[in-house]
Amino acid sequence: MTDPDDLTARARIRDAAMRHFGEHGFERATIRGIAVEAGVSLGLVRHHFGSKQALREACDAHLIKLLRELNDQVPDDLATSVTANPVAAARVAVGPYRDYLVRALVEGGVAPLFDEMVELGTNRLVAADRQRTDPPTVEPKIRAAIGTAMALSITVLHQHISRAAGIDILSPAGDNMLARALIDIYSHPQLSLEEAQAALDRLPAEGN
């Protein structure tokens, strides 16, 4: 959600760029088109950002700022949380920029955001691993990267998920359903750790 105090010309241009990038993609987007979207002169856009690449970097930096704010709202122990549904909080915060995020993910962009999500996820996993009685077999960063990809795929595939679920996943009701589904998925694995590892051990060795 756009911060009411963040309505400077620079912020308006940045938000306009995110809408423009989301609609046209980075390659087809133009500085002139962004200026029209923002209702400012072409010169003002160049004054604040200089280039289209710098604009994209500012867009990514804004998403990272939102991500850090969301992360700070989520306690290490989710069971102790008395705040709003974190799924709902993420939907509201990212909502205005969803088209930008989806387009950038499909085009292979937003690497800084992905890396930041992996770093934050890694930190949480390292802390959680200390409480585990079963030592993890995959390093935290790899697990965090896969978890990040899974989380972002919901944004990209939200239309398909909504169709399968019979509910708009990007609605308040969808927030509740998605949160409950994620809890069920993560708390009830389809295989026990022993069964899963035994199945992998039966596979042929690499190269055979």
CB 102 within 8 A of CB 22: yes
Its pTM stands at 0.81
Q: What are phi and psi of 30, to 5 degrees?
A: -130, 155
Question: Which pLDDT tens digit goes with each residue over 28-62?
Answer: 999 999 999 999 999 999 999 999 999 999 999 99
Task: Tell me: pLDDT of 110 over 60.
Answer: yes
Pick the more confident residue, 38 or 206: 38
C-alpha to C-alpha distance for 24 and 27, rounded to whole angstroms: 8
C-alpha to C-alpha distance for 72 and 64, rounded to whole angstroms: 12
Lowest mean pLDDT among 43-57, 161-175, 193-207: 193-207
Question: Which pLDDT tens digit goes with each residue over 60-108?
Answer: 999 999 999 988 887 665 555 555 678 888 888 888 999 999 999 999 9
Look over the chain and give the mean of its residue pLDDT values, rounded to a whole number: 88
Quickly state the pLDDT bin for 118 (edges 50, 70, 90).
very high
